[in-house]
């Protein structure tokens, strides 16, 4: 039986009251305006997902689970044309926002019980919805690499000083074949690439001040030299050492890399195309090197991990790999002839 003081507000009414209180806190300096607007945006999303006319007190833990999962599957509108789900950071922020609303609702007498206490969806489950972070299949990865190769071989379009085809191809090839962290990629300088005994190397400055020297596959080395010789803009100033520059001569930011991947993806055959992030390409590198029986310690060194056990997080399942393993089982192969 509900207490007499319980107000059976709709989700829309409760949201309006709560957002008004949140914005009032900015007047006293208790809350930053930008933070208040984040709360307001998340609460508006809650109204959309739960239904404006739904009574707030009628929402159960199962309803909250459904709302959290629905939010996780929503396209990330911060990226143009993005089809992937929300980032783990956005999901955690949304959960905090609606948790704060329900906590206030319980104190204000809008709900008898806080339904967040009965929510069962874990961060692992929400994160698992992000398909764009999983490794690409061999066909998908080869489609993306093929598009990058084609892009590198095409004559540039538009003004010479505004072309980015070779740069975009190089970015995709480096991410797909060497799997660097996106921070390592955008921090790279021209001087970090050198030649030793006819082999091109990239000295990667990684986490914890550690460095690793990675030999570039032949095709990647050719793309690097083509970009440096024909397209990379020369600009005086602090960014002159940066490998990856915009046509205005500024070092690329982390967010720019995702836009490059999506631009190259549009050239991939639709049957091979799948949304992927820079970190998803890091998974792709690890997965296919390990699937091809490359030594685990070598893969660890390519990715820049200090501990071999970390590789387990980067090794994703590939369709059909168990069937292939059973067809070529080492104990069932015919004995070698003397």
- Of the pLDDT bands very low, low, confident and very high (cuts 50, 70, 90), residue 329 is low
Confidence grade of residue 102 (pLDDT, cut at 50, 70, 90) = very high
pLDDT at residue 191 greater than cutoff 90: yes
- Residue 127: what pLDDT? 47
Over residues 39-62, the mean pLDDT reads 90
Give me the DSSP letters along 144-167: HHHHHHHHHHSPP-S-GGG--HHH
Give the pLDDT confidence of 263-281 residue by residue, as tens digits: 999 999 988 888 888 888 9
Least confident of 13-17, 64-68, 281-285, 325-329: 325-329
Strand partners, 200: 195
Looking at the chain, the number of H-run helices and the number of E-run strands are: 13, 3
> Using 50, 70 and 90 to split pLDDT, how confident is the model at 84?
low
The count of other CB atoms within 10 Å of the CB of residue 196 is 9
Q: How confident is the model at residue 1 (pLDDT cuts 50, 70, 90)?
A: very low
Quickly count: other Cβ atoms within 10 Å of residue 303's Cβ: 23
Write down the pLDDT at residue 320: 64
CA distance 261 to 132: 12
> What is the reported pLDDT for 328?
64
pLDDT of residue 160: 56
Q: Which residues of 229-261 are buried (b: 16+ CB within 10 A; e: fewer)?
A: eebbbebeeebeebbbbbbebbbbeeeebbebb
Domains of the chain: 11-132 (1.10.150.130), 134-315 (1.10.443.10)
pLDDT digits (tens, 9 = 90+) for 121-175: 655 444 444 444 578 888 999 999 999 988 877 655 555 556 789 999 999 999 9
Instruction: Tell me the average pLDDT across 248-253.
Output: 84
**Percentage of residues in the chain with pLDDT exceeding 90?**
34
Nearest-angstrom CA–CA distance, 208 and 230:
34
DSSP track, 187-255: H-BGGGEEEETTEEEEEEE-GGG-EEEEEPPHHHHHHHHHHHHHTPPP--STTTTBSSB-TTSPBPPHH
Sign of CA dihedral 68, 70, 73, 74: negative
pLDDT given for residue 193 in this prediction: 96
Q: Are 326 and 144 in contact (CB under 8 A)?
A: no
pLDDT in tens, 288-325: 888 887 888 888 889 888 777 666 666 666 666 566 66
Q: How far apart are CA 105 and CA 117, in angstroms?
A: 13
In the prediction, which pLDDT does 124 show?
47
- For position 163, what pLDDT does the model report? 77
Q: Would you state the pLDDT for residue 121?
A: 62
Tokens read off for 109: 């007498």
Residue 118 binned pLDDT confidence (cut-offs 50, 70, 90): confident
Measured CA to CA, the distance from residue 46 to residue 206 in angstroms comes to 39
User: Residue 81's pLDDT is what?
Assistant: 43
User: In DSSP terms, which residues pair with 203 in a beta bridge?
Assistant: 213
SS3 at position 10: strand
Stretch 226-235: mean pLDDT, rounded? Answer: 81
pLDDT at 337: 72
Q: Which residues are catalytic?
A: 181, 207, 279, 282, 305, 314
């Amino acid at each position: 039986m509900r207490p007499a003081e319980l107000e059976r507000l709709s989700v829309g009414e409760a949201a309006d009251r709560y957002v008004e209180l949140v914005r009032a806190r900015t007047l006293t300096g208790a809350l930053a305006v930008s933070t208040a607007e984040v709360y307001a945006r998340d609460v508006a999303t809650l109204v959309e997902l739960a239904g404006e006319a739904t009574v707030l007190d009628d929402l159960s833990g199962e309803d909250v689970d459904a709302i959290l999962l629905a939010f996780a599957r929503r396209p990330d509108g911060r990226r143009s044309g993005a089809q992937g789900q929300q980032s783990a950071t956005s999901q955690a922020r949304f959960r905090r926002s609606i948790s704060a609303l329900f906590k206030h609702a319980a104190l204000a007498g809008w709900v008898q019980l806080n339904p967040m206490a009965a929510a069962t969806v874990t961060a692992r489950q929400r994160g698992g919805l992000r398909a764009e972070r999983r490794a690409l299949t061999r066909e998908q990865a080869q489609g993306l690499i093929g598009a990058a190769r084609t892009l590198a071989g095409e004559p540039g379009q538009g003004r010479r000083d505004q072309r980015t085809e070779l740069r975009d191809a190089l970015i995709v090839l480096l991410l797909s074949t060497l799997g660097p962290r996106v921070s390592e990629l955008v921090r790279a300088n021209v001087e970090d690439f050198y030649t030793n005994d006819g082999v091109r190397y990239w000295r990667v400055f990684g986490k914890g001040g550690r460095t690793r020297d990675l030999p570039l596959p032949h095709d990647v080395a050719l793309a690097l030299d083509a970009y440096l010789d024909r397209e990379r803009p020369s600009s005086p100033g602090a960014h002159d050492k940066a490998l990856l520059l915009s046509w205005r001569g500024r070092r690329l930011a982390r967010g720019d890399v995702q836009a490059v991947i999506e631009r190259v993806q549009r050239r991939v055959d639709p049957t091979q195309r799948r949304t992927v992030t820079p970190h998803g390409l890091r998974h792709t590198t690890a997965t296919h090197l390990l699937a091809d029986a490359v030594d685990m310690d070598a893969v660890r060194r390519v990715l820049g991990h200090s501990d071999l056990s970390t590789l387990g997080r980067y090794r994703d399942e590939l369709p059909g790999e168990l069937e292939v393993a059973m067809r070529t089982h080492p104990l069932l192969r015919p004995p070698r002839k003397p």
